[in-house]
Amino acid sequence: MAVEIETAKRAAAQLAVKNHFPDDPRFVGIGSGTTIVYVVEAIKELGHDLSRVGFVPTGYQSKQLVINAGLVPIEFDALPDGVMVDIAFDGADEVDDELNCIKGGGACLYQEKMVAMRSKEFICVADYRKLQSRLLTKWPTVPIEVEPKAARQVMARLKVLGSKSAAGKGPFLREGAILKAGPIKTDQDFFIVDAPFPEPLLTSADLAGGTVANPVKGVWEVEELARTIKDINGVLAVGLFCGPTGPEARDAAVIGGQRPVACYFGMEDGSVHVRRAPRKRHSIVQTYPLIEPKISNAH
Ligand SMILES: O=C[C@H](O)[C@H](O)[C@H](O)COP(=O)(O)O
């Protein structure tokens, strides 16, 4: 019999914490969403003295979670200069074979990326719905955190990058819940633009295998897409966590945040599937250059 989703999330969280929570950490990153709740629960269940550990939240919900658990929160900008977070745990909306992730489904994104990039190790915890071979298989869009005044121009640019679902729907502003008219706001008071693409995103292995990305048609490799979207004026963060992982991520000037070193998926049968990131990814062979649309000045 299939287990409940919540049971699957809890199982993944418990194993991830058991395998990765350091003996004597100074700082631990706590992400956002519904799965991270079980990570905090599992950390408490370890029974360690955590009074000297600073827990770095990735937003409002995450900070409340830390406080309610009786743990000590420390804001990201209060971390001592040059000191890394020992480990960060967070959820994801979809994870591919190389452990590139889509994040931001719950509108937390920018602070999650900052904490992941500042961490020696980033561990992802999720359930079987998130376990895919390529991104944008089941999860429909790439979430992008955008400065509100730039939202229209960002969406226009995304269309040029081929952002369109297979059914023809273009990028859109994420609307608020029932009681909120207009777009939702992030913890930074920014908007979320959701950008669909017509095909699942390619991995570096696809390109090394000879598959050619074709941005003109909206067919992209993950890291290339993350970099291209981040370059749009007004974009604060792209919900693609890609690029280097573990120690390599520390010194790199990374746009992608960092890939997790491992992702724990709670499965339908109650087991936990662990996917580990290949430390070295395939080098990217070829992508089509993006052809800019011609702007005519003719009247
Ligand atoms: O914006 C939200 C975050 O990126 C979450 O970590 C992600 O959406 C996964 O959330 P959940 O654990 O609720 O599926």
Centroid of ligand 1 to alpha carbon of 287 (angstroms): 30
- Evaluate: CB of 29 within 6 angstroms of ligand 1: no
ipTM: 0.99
Of 103, 128, 185, 193, the residue with max ligand 1 atoms within 8 A of its CB, to mutate for a pocket test, comes to 103
Q: In this predicted model, what pLDDT tens digit does every residue of 212-225 receive, in sequence order?
A: 888 888 899 999 99
Distance CA 241, CA 259 (A): 5
Distance CA 4, CA 279 (A): 33
Residue 295 reports pLDDT greater than 50? no
Distance CA 98, CA 95 (A): 8
| Amino acid 299: pLDDT | 44
Domain residue spans of the chain: 5-276
- Evaluate: CB of 60 within 6 angstroms of ligand 1: no
Greater model confidence, 216 or 235? 235
Of 35, 115, 185, the residue with max ligand 1 atoms within 8 A of its CB, to mutate for a pocket test, comes to 35
- Evaluate: CB of 106 within 6 angstroms of ligand 1: yes
CATH 3.90.550.10 applies to domain 5-276 = no
Instruction: Using pLDDT thresholds of 50, 70 and 90, give the confidence band for residue 182.
Output: confident
234: left (phi over 0), alpha (psi -120 to 50) or beta: left
Nearest-CA residue for ligand 1 atom 8 is 105
Ranking 101-105, 210-214, 248-252 by mean pLDDT, the lowest is 248-252
Candidates 4, 75, 94, 112; catalytic one: 112
Average pLDDT score over residue span 147-172: 96
Distance CA 99, CA 242 (A): 8
- Evaluate: CB of 32 within 6 angstroms of ligand 1: yes
Nearest-CA residue for ligand 1 atom 7 is 92
Distance CA 286, CA 221 (A): 10
Distance CA 1, CA 48 (A): 34
Distance CA 50, CA 44 (A): 8
Annotated catalytic residue 112? yes
Average pLDDT of the chain, as a whole number: 89
Angle between helical axes of 36-45 and 5-20 (0-180°, round to 10)? 50
Residue 203 reports pLDDT greater than 90? yes
E strands, the chain, are: 27-30, 54-57, 72-73, 87-90, 94-95, 101-102, 122-127, 142-146, 172-173, 191-195, 235-238, 240-241, 262-266, 272-276
